[in-house]
């Protein structure tokens, strides 16, 4: 099972909204058995990326240190604004990039 890490400030509101919409995308693509989401506060993001190899992408708050870590790990990272503004086209673009990178398409 591959995972997408989704983080906002306290790992409760914006990130959970994003995850809930991303999970719908997973369901629509029938990838429930291959891909899931994990939601955390952004301050835990780096520790989690370092310890969990199953994480294939990051969506959320892009602090400089998190972006640095993603680039070090060659992991795609995205801002979560398209999910918070309910921008369907931009969401689809993010989803497609992630599954392509994870080799799930």
Partner 1 sequence: MSMNDIVQAILAPGAQVFVPVLIILLGLLFKMKIRKAIKSGADLVVGFVGMSILIGALVDQITPMTKKLGAATGLHLTAIDVGWTGAAAISWAWSLAFTFFALTIGVNLIMLILNWTNTINADMWNVWGKVLTAYIIYYMSGSYIWAYGLTAIQVIIELKLGDLWESQIADMFGYTNTTVTHIETFTAVIMFPINRLMDFIPIFNKRIDAKSLKKKIGMLSEPWAMGFIIGILIGLLSRASIASVLNFATYMLAIMAIFPVVAKYFQSALTPFGAAMSKYMKARFKNREFFIGLDWPIVGQSAELWVTATINIIFFMFWAIVLPGNTTLPFAGVINYCLAVGGLLLTGGNLLRMIVLSFIYTPLFLYGATFLAPILTKMGKMTQAIKIPAGSQVTWSSIEAPDLRIMFAYMPLGKWWSYVGFVVLMVLFVFMYRHIKKAPLPSERYQELGNKKSNN
**Residues in touch with partner 1 (CB under 8 A):** 8-17, 19-21, 39-44, 46-47, 60-65, 80-81, 84-86
Closest distance to partner 1 from the beta carbon of 84 (Å): 5
Closest CA to 19 of 91, 103, 93: 91
Give the shortest CB-97-to-partner 1 separation in angstroms.
19
- Minimum CB separation of residue 91 from partner 1 in Å reads 11
The two three-digit tokens of residue 38, written as one number: 């994990």
Q: Residue 83's closest CA among 70, 73, 68, 93?
A: 93
Q: Cβ of 83: how many Cβ atoms within 10 Å?
A: 24
Closest CB to partner 1 among residues 41, 76: 41
């Amino acid at each position: 099972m591959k995972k997408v890490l989704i983080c906002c400030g306290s790992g409760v509101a914006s990130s959970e909204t994003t995850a809930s919409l991303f999970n719908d995308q997973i369901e629509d693509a029938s990838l429930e058995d291959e891909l899931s989401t994990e939601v955390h506060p952004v301050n835990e993001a780096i520790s989690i990326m370092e310890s969990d190899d199953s994480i294939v992408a990051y969506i959320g708050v892009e602090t400089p240190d998190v972006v640095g870590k993603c680039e070090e790990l060659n992991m795609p990272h995205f801002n979560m604004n398209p999910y918070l503004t309910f921008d369907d086209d931009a969401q689809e673009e993010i989803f497609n990039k992630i599954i392509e990178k994870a080799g799930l398409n």
